[in-house]
Amino acid sequence: MNFTLKIWRQSNRNAKGRFVSYAVSDIDPDASFLEMLDILNEQLVLKGEDPVYFDHDCREGICGACSLFINGRPHGRGEGTTTCQLYMRKFKDGETITVEPFRAKAFPVIKDLTVDRSAFDQIIQAGGYVSCHTGGVPDGNAILVSKRDADLAMDAASCIGCGACVAACKNASAMLFVAAKVSQLALLPQGKLEAEKRAHAMVAKMDELGFGNCTNTYACQAVCPKHISVSNIARLNRLHIKAGFKGTGKES
């Protein structure tokens, strides 16, 4: 298959970026999108040009590193898949494909298609955990967890922290990301004690870092490679309101 690629090139955080067109040919339909970029990059290297820089690692849809905005959609056309699980057979032969980085105020471009998502780490650091220390914990079966809650917690915990939700949102909100972690831990007895405080702290950090607010367009859910549901946002909102009323968010 042959394609024309319009790729965002930007040499560093402060440089001005632009689209550059590249042609790739004889691509196997079963090659992944990233393997197609590998082929392009090998050609660029041999021509003495700077290859395209993009984040990627596990290439099996779980590490959350890959983060391309393809033809106007995070992770391209696949439903419930990451960029690395997108195969060229999903495109039309001869198609022009536009490739951009995930764009959000809180995700500055580092180079080309790579953005800085350390804001997500900072949100987790604000409280996205159970504050237990290593050792001295009860037996794993000492506190029972209903299968339903365990399953719902697992669904929320599937988040891979890729940031597609932010890239798809017109407000660049991180609500789905925050809600997934808050829900996972609030659904489990181990995380319930700190649930309201956690919701308050993580939302405050999200606001501070320049993510926008949620206006319920559900674009985040539509592009999430792990099908995280917006019902988690409702759960987050309930906890956040409670924290506000009870003042639990302010506990240190």
Partner 1 sequence: MDEIKQSKVPSGNIAEKWTSYKDTQRLINPANKRKLDIIVVGTGLAGASAAATLGEQGYNVKVFCIQDSPRRAHSIAAQGGINAAKNYQNDGDSIRRLFEDTVKGGDYRAREANVYRLAEISNNIIDQCVAQGVPFARDYAGMLANRSFGGAQVSRTFYAKGQTGQQLLLGAYGALSKEIHNGTVKLFTRREMLNLVLVDGRARGIIVRNLETGDIERYSAHAVVLATGGYGNVFFLSTNAMASNGSAAWRCYKKGAFFANPCFTQIHPTCIPVHGDYQSKLTLMSESLRNDGRIWVPKNMSDVEKIRKGELRPADIPEADRDYYLERRYPSFGNLVPRDVASRAAKERCDAGFGVNASGLAVYLDFSEAIERLGENVVKARYGNLFDMYQEIANENPYETPMMIYPAVHYTMGGLWVDYELQTTIPGLFALGEANFSDHGANRLGASALMQGLADGYFILPYTLQNYLSDLIREPAVSIEETCFAEAEKQVRDEIARLHAVGGNETVDSFHRRLGKIMWEKVGMSREKEGLQQAISQIASLRDEFWHQVKVPALTIGCNAELEKALRVADFLELGELIARDALQREESCGGHFRVEHQTADGEALRDDEHFRFVSAYEYKGAIAPEMYKEALDFEFVELKQRNYK
Sheet containing 18-24: order of strands: 18-24, 3-9, 96-101, 68-70, 73-74
| Other residues' Cβ atoms within 10 Å of the Cβ of residue 143 | 10
- The stretch among 77-85, 97-105, 209-217, 232-240 that binds partner 1 (CB under 8 A) is 77-85
Residue 248 per-residue DSSP state? G
Nearer to partner 1, 117 or 200 (CB): 117
**Contact flag: residue 121 with partner 1 (CB under 8 A):** yes
| Other residues' Cβ atoms within 10 Å of the Cβ of residue 126 | 19
**Contact flag: residue 5 with partner 1 (CB under 8 A):** no
How many residues of this chain bind partner 1 (CB under 8 A)? 78
* 38, 98, 218, 231: which one binds partner 1 (CB under 8 A): 38
Nearer to partner 1, 147 or 170 (CB): 147
| β-pair type (109-111, 18-24) | unpaired
Scan residues 99-118 and list those touching partner 1 (CB under 8 A): 110-111, 114, 116-118
Gyration radius from the chain CA atoms:
20
Nearer to partner 1, 117 or 240 (CB): 117
Hey, what are 70's tokens?
Answer: 């393809």
Nearer to partner 1, 30 or 245 (CB): 30
Judging by beta carbons within 10 Å of its beta carbon (0-12, 13-18, 19+), is residue 18 exposed, middle or buried?
exposed
- The stretch among 91-99, 139-147, 214-222, 235-243 that binds partner 1 (CB under 8 A) is 139-147
* E strand map for the chain: 3-9, 18-24, 68-70, 73-74, 96-101, 109-111, 114-115
**Contact flag: residue 1 with partner 1 (CB under 8 A):** no
CB of 18 closer than 8 Å to CB of 53: no
Scan residues 188-247 and list those touching partner 1 (CB under 8 A): 188, 190-191
- The stretch among 1-9, 134-142, 165-173, 212-220 that binds partner 1 (CB under 8 A) is 134-142
* 72, 77, 80, 96: which one binds partner 1 (CB under 8 A): 80
**Contact flag: residue 158 with partner 1 (CB under 8 A):** yes
Scan residues 46-65 and list those touching partner 1 (CB under 8 A): 46, 48, 50-51, 53, 55-65
Nearer to partner 1, 33 or 100 (CB): 33
| Other residues' Cβ atoms within 10 Å of the Cβ of residue 74 | 27
**Contact flag: residue 12 with partner 1 (CB under 8 A):** yes
**Contact flag: residue 150 with partner 1 (CB under 8 A):** yes
- Please work out, in degrees rounded to the nearest 5, the angle formed at the alpha carbon of residue 169 by the alpha carbons of 165 and 175: 60
**Contact flag: residue 251 with partner 1 (CB under 8 A):** no
Shortest distance, position 24 Cβ to partner 1, whole Å: 11
What are the backbone dihedrals phi and psi of residue 9, each rounded to the nearest 5 degrees, phi first? -115, 130
